[in-house]
């Protein structure tokens, strides 16, 4: 299991080390990722600084009171007047004269899912996520939006907590929030997951919401090309010209430093997924450390040095309450059998040790006072046999499940885009260069077609003129 956990951690790019065994959770995550579970989106859109800024943001997410606003206590506010009355309680914390000029008063987040996701499930998941993540120490409000094709919620959290500390989110916090939101979505029956883009072979970043709004336009603005996109197209065009010039001269096109890093990451991800699949196929559920099965081995008590054992440890192993009375503490220990206590000299309490035996136990001892194996519980052999059968059945089921997951992971890796060189990387610049190259190729083919057609027409006309009979002077006179 340790090998599986290690390989899955590499594939899922989880660098956080945990003491608990998370193999089952990692296997469940790998199942969802390999079958194409929907990825959640949790984004910090900004911070509110000052009462005016926060009030304007609340008016925006409620569409000036047309949409409901729900707070951390479950209270729902509708209408501009109710939102304004609610904000008066928050405004008291924003008007402090000791506040810094650039102080963050609220954190603004957007939690969304792709088009087709149940809207009510998204809203319920956001409510539970906010309650579990911020409800203990922060006040918050959220509004549910359905005006876009993708259902999403705007969450506004007051940065100042009840304990006097302020929110200062980092990248690790954002990833943890994504995983929490995905978990609450799964509780609502939505197949959702939160993994880094690299784990799924995705290189291109999603377009910013501002860029999408500019391209789409609204009631007050016509659709237009963002300056960022125009700059990207110009850069891709210049880079494509350099690549074409290098190809014409027979020179290699060198990859950029960031492209080399992306190539290395993509190869590592593919190797990690395939290594995890191989570990799942070859892992024996009954094997643990160093390929050894767990067995109950009787300790060699003759090798135990009783003189070096401390009295407090010996007492704790037999009679823990004795230490409690004396005000001392020691970790509890386990003993494999009571019959070896006298040999190890571990009995430290004055009271005699008592055991519950069958009434005829003294009659069933041998002459040498040896133990009779019949004193064991009746049916213990049968119970061990049944337990062994159950364990073997479970091991078989786990092995079948691991092989099925390995096959699913291999299909997932085969579906990933092959990346052998920098030009194959699906980055924004490479996609633009590919599009521009196709356009230039089509234009060149169109020009070539027109040129070929004109040449063919000229040659056909020339051939017709040559094949026509020449006129003679007599014919002209006639």
DSSP character for 255?
Answer: P
pLDDT at 300 over 60: yes
pLDDT at 139: 94
Q: What is the mean pLDDT of residues 10-21?
A: 55
* Residue pointed to by tokens 């599009």: 435
- The string of pLDDT tens digits covering residues 203-214 is 777 777 777 778
DSSP labels, 344-384: HT----SSPP-----TTTGGGS-TT-PPPGGGSPTTHHHHH
| Number of neighbouring beta carbons within 10 Å of residue 181 | 29
Percent of the chain whose predicted confidence (pLDDT) is above 70 = 67
Tokens describing residue 314: 């010996």
- Edge-first strand order for the sheet with 140-145 is 41-48, 106-112, 152-158, 140-145, 69-71, 76-77
Contact 128, 184 (CB under 8 A): yes
pLDDT at 138 over 90: yes
pLDDT band at 145 (very low <50, low <70, confident <90, very high): very high
Domains, in order of start, for the chain:
1-34+227-291+384-459 (no CATH), 38-190 (3.30.930.30), 310-345 (no CATH)
**CB-neighbour burial class of residue 336 (10 A; exposed 0-12, middle 13-18, buried 19+):** exposed
- The string of pLDDT tens digits covering residues 176-232 is 999 999 999 999 999 999 888 878 877 777 777 777 778 777 778 888 888 887 888
Instruction: Read off the pTM.
Output: 0.66
pLDDT band at 422 (very low <50, low <70, confident <90, very high): confident
Q: How far apart are the first and last CA of the chain?
A: 107
DSSP character for 41?
Answer: E
């Amino acid at each position: 299991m340790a090998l599986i956990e290690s390989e899955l951690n590499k594939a899922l790019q989880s660098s956080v080390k945990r003491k608990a065994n998370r193999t089952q959770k990692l296997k469940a995550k790998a199942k969802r990722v390999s079958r194409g579970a929907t990825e959640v989106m949790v984004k910090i859109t900004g911070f509110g600084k000052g009462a005016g800024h926060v009030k304007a943001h609340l008016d925006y997410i409620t569409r000036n009171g047309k949409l409901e606003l729900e707070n951390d206590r479950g209270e729902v506010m509708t209408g501009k007047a109710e939102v304004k009355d609610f904000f008066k309680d928050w405004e008291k914390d924003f008007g402090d004269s000791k506040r810094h000029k650039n102080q963050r008063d609220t954190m603004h987040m957007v939690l969304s899912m792709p088009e087709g996701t149940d809207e009510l499930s998204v809203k319920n998941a956001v409510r539970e996520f906010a309650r579990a993540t911020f409800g203990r120490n922060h006040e918050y409000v959220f509004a549910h939006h359905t005006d876009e094709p993708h259902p999403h919620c705007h969450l506004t959290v007051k940065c100042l907590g009840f304990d006097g500390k302020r929110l200062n989110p980092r990248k690790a916090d954002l990833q943890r929030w994504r995983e929490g939101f995905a978990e609450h979505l799964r509780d609502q029956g939505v197949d959702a997951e939160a993994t880094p883009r690299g784990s799924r072979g995705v290189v291109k970043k999603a377009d910013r919401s501002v860029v999408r709004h500019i391209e789409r336009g609204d009631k007050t603005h016509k659709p237009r090309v963002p300056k960022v996109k125009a700059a990207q197209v110009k850069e891709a065009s210049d880079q494509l010209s350099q690549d074409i010039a290098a190809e014409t001269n027979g020179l290699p096109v060198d990859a950029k430093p960031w492209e080399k890093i992306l190539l290395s990451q993509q190869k590592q991800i593919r190797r990690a997924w395939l290594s995890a699949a191989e570990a799942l196929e070859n892992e024996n559920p009954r094997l643990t450390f160093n390929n050894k099965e767990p067995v109950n081995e009787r300790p060699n008590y003759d090798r135990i040095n009783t003189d070096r054992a401390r009295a407090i440890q010996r007492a704790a192993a037999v009679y823990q309450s004795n230490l409690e009375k004396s005000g001392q503490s020691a970790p509890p220990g386990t003993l494999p059998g009571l019959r070896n206590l006298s040999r190890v000299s571990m009995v430290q309490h004055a009271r005699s040790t008592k055991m519950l035996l069958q009434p005829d136990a003294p009659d069933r001892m041998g002459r040498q006072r040896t133990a009779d194996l019949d004193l064991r519980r009746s049916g213990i052999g049968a119970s061990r046999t049944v337990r062994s059968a159950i364990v073997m059945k479970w091991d078989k089921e786990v092995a079948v499940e691991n092989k099925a997951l390995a096959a699913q992971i291999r299909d997932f890796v085969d579906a990933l885009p092959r990346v052998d060189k920098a030009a194959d990387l699906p980055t924004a610049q490479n996609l633009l260069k590919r599009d521009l190259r196709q356009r230039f190729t089509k234009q060149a083919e169109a020009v070539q077609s027109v040129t070929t057609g004109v040449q063919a027409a000229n040659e056909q006309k020339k051939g017709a003129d040559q094949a026509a009979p020449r006129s003679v002077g007599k014919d002209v006179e006639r």
